[in-house]
Amino acid sequence: MYTVNKNLLNNVPSVIVETDKFKTITIQLVFRSISERERVTKRNLLSRMMIKRTDTFLKEADLLNHLAYLYGAHLTSTTGRKGRDHTVTIGMELVNDKFIYEDMDIVGEMCKLLNEVLQSPFNYDASDEDFFNKEKRLYRNRLKSMKDNRAQASFQAMVNLMFEEEDYKYFSFGVLEDVESLTLEDIKEEHSRMMAEDELKILAVGAVDEDIEDKLSKIHQREALVELKHQPYPDKAIEQVKRETDAQKIEQAKLNMGFRVSDLDLQERMAFNVMNQMFGGSASSLLFQNIREKMSLAYQISSQIDIRNGYMFVMGGVDPKNTEKAETAILRELETLQRGEFEDDFVEEVKRMMRVNRKEVMDKPKGLLALEYNRMLQDEHSSSWEERLAAVDSAMIADVSKRVVLDTVYVLTRSEEDEQN
């Protein structure tokens, strides 16, 4: 069991999850703003730089040594997408000083360090150019390596096609083509904008002391509360299915399909989640059991959803000769759900699996914080997650499935020359 305390610390909303389940304390600073192409790449590089050095620790090695001295604390940064928003999360995981013999205020020290992490980019100057260029090079190489992954590259190509005129096509990890032109001044400007305009929430979880709010209040303060309405991308009508096929020297074709579903309320999103698990989101799903196991039309296949925006994606590795047959079979499985041709036991099995998965998430500090953060972004709803899951039945699954419409098909296949060899 755990308790959740919410408060406003220096005009920054805080969520403190008190639990004896963990021997560590995890603190997260989550910045959120509208996702825009001109910002996502800057925000990624900025977040990487922020955790590498500060005004006190001018070398990454010095910062790592300081973290090691404080019993191996971990300082991390991640970026993500929430609805139509881009998030930057600065995280700190540290040992609870209740479990060490030295008289140390590790939480207090880490909160001071997090304050320095946030403030140091204001002071970037010419002496930081080499540091900037190094991080820029590493970041560019990381994005290049992602493009070298055929499965990932083909999925991104499908997203680019599906959302050709929508900002959703810009992934949370940034745009490779935008890296080269970035300057240190761009990073400073983005940092200033993020600190002034982003919604910021401070989250903490662990067996915290009574003075935890006093310590967290040292991280950051604002003159006024900044709140950003959380909303999905607007619905878009599908006029006709977009199709594109590219050829490369590959052995296994990549079949990617994008679907849209519109106007989902919170209860219907839960049904959409269950429906996806039944369709292709688990080992017991229709796609895995029928397309892969029974029909042998795919080497691997799965589906995933963006539940907030109402998108579903199917990714499969198939024989180049079977791409059309696999596409037809995938749509046939979707029609099975739309007609309600499945047993109630299948629905209940998936719901049991989702409960187990949620419990596993809650058994980890970051998972527990993610659930609490998502809860803060949800629309007001009188029922709990468990109540909404319990309410999902076969009729609701069929109804949501009928609203899932194919938007895009992208295939990366073997070139004709390679087929002949």
Q: Give the pLDDT band (50/70/90) at residue 101.
A: confident
- Residue 200 is given by DSSP the state E
Q: How many residues does the chain have?
A: 421
pLDDT tens track for 79-88: 999 999 999 9
**Mean pLDDT, to the nearest integer, of 261-285?**
95
pLDDT above 90: percentage of residues in the chain:
88
User: In this predicted structure, what is the pLDDT of residue 98?
Assistant: 86
Q: What is the amino acid identity at position 284? A: S
Residue 414 forms part of a structural domain? yes
Average pLDDT, the chain: 95
- Cα torsion 176, 182, 186, 187 to 10°: value is 60
β-pairing verdict for 242-248 and 405-414:
parallel
User: In this predicted structure, what is the pLDDT of residue 417?
Assistant: 59
User: In this predicted structure, what is the pLDDT of residue 420?
Assistant: 52
Domain CATH code at residue 377 = 3.30.830.10
Q: Do 193 and 263 share a domain, yes or no?
A: no
Q: Do 251 and 358 share a domain, yes or no?
A: yes
Q: Do 40 and 163 share a domain, yes or no?
A: yes
Tell me if 262 sits within 8 A of 235, measured CB to CB. Answer: yes
Burial, 79: exposed, middle or buried (Cβ in 10 Å; 0-12, 13-18, 19+)? buried
Of 273, 200, 233, 232, nearest in space to 379 by CA: 232
Q: Do 211 and 280 share a domain, yes or no?
A: no
Residue 419 has pLDDT above 60, yes or no: no
pLDDT above 70: percentage of residues in the chain:
98
The end-to-end CA distance of the chain, in Å, is 62
Cα distance between residue 287 and residue 318, in whole Å:
13
Cα distance between residue 347 and residue 352, in whole Å:
9
User: In this predicted structure, what is the pLDDT of residue 227?
Assistant: 95
pLDDT tens track for 37-82: 999 999 999 999 999 999 999 999 999 999 999 999 999 999 999 9
Q: Do 119 and 206 share a domain, yes or no?
A: yes
β-pairing verdict for 74-82 and 85-95:
antiparallel
- Please identify, among 216, 251, 271, the residue that sits at the C-terminal boundary of a domain: 216
Residue 416 has pLDDT above 70, yes or no: no
Residue 224 forms part of a structural domain? no
**Mean pLDDT, to the nearest integer, of 289-307?**
96
Q: Do 146 and 75 share a domain, yes or no?
A: yes
Residue 222 forms part of a structural domain? no
Tell me if 86 sits within 8 A of 42, measured CB to CB. Answer: no
- pTM of the entire predicted model: 0.94
Cα distance between residue 264 and residue 15, in whole Å:
28
**Helix, strand, or coil (residue 79):** strand
Q: Do 71 and 177 share a domain, yes or no?
A: yes
Residue 279 has pLDDT above 70, yes or no: yes
Burial, 273: exposed, middle or buried (Cβ in 10 Å; 0-12, 13-18, 19+)? buried
Residue 324 forms part of a structural domain? yes
Tell me if 398 sits within 8 A of 340, measured CB to CB. Answer: yes
Of 39, 41, 42, 60, nearest in space to 184 by CA: 42
β-partners of residue 255 are 316, 411
Q: Do 118 and 177 share a domain, yes or no?
A: yes
Domain range enclosing 167: 3-216
Q: How many domains does the chain have?
A: 2
Q: Do 293 and 203 share a domain, yes or no?
A: no
Cα distance between residue 326 and residue 212, in whole Å:
55
Q: Do 151 and 263 share a domain, yes or no?
A: no
Where does 129-241 show beta strands of DSSP type E? 199-206
User: In this predicted structure, what is the pLDDT of residue 100?
Assistant: 86
Angle between helices 394-402 and 323-338 (to 10 degrees): 130
Tell me if 217 sits within 8 A of 9, measured CB to CB. Answer: yes
What lies within 8 Å, CB to CB, of 39 at 6+ separation is 33, 86, 190, 193
The total of other beta-carbon atoms located within 10 Å of residue 102's CB is 7
Q: Do 48 and 180 share a domain, yes or no?
A: yes
